């Protein structure tokens, strides 16, 4: 089993679609790359911003956590 790299909240914040090309979000300690998703263009998805931990915000979303299975997990949030 391959161990994924770890990233801090500050490192995650840089992947917001503005500072760098990568667009990442975290959920339940896992970091996902949503760069290729048309729903995350420019690092924004409805009222949510990339580069953040979205665990608590999911309660207000019209979808379940299963949505994250569509994206590649690229790291762990520490």
List the pLDDT tens digit at each of the 78 positions of the chain: 679 999 999 999 999 999 889 999 999 999 999 999 999 989 999 989 999 999 999 888 889 999 999 999 999 999
Degrees, nearest 5: CA angle 50-27-32: 60
| Widest CA span in the chain | 36
List the domains of the chain with CATH numbers.
Answer: 6-77 (3.10.120.10)
Centre a 10 Å sphere on the Cβ of residue 7 and count the other Cβ atoms it contains: 19
Give the distance, in angstroms, between the CA of residue 2 and the centroid of all CA atoms in the same chain.
Answer: 20
Q: What is the DSSP letter of 45?
A: E
Q: What are phi and psi of 43, to 5 degrees?
A: 80, 15
Q: What is the pTM of this model?
A: 0.92
């Amino acid at each position: 089993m391959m161990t994924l790299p770890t990233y801090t909240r500050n490192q995650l914040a840089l992947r917001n679609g503005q500072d760098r090309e990568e667009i990442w979000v975290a959920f339940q300690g896992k970091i996902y790359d949503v760069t290729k998703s048309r729903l995350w263009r420019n690092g924004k998805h409805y009222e949510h911003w990339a580069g953040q931990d979205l665990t608590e915000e999911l309660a207000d979303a019209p979808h379940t956590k299963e949505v994250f299975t569509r994206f590649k997990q690229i790291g762990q949030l520490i």
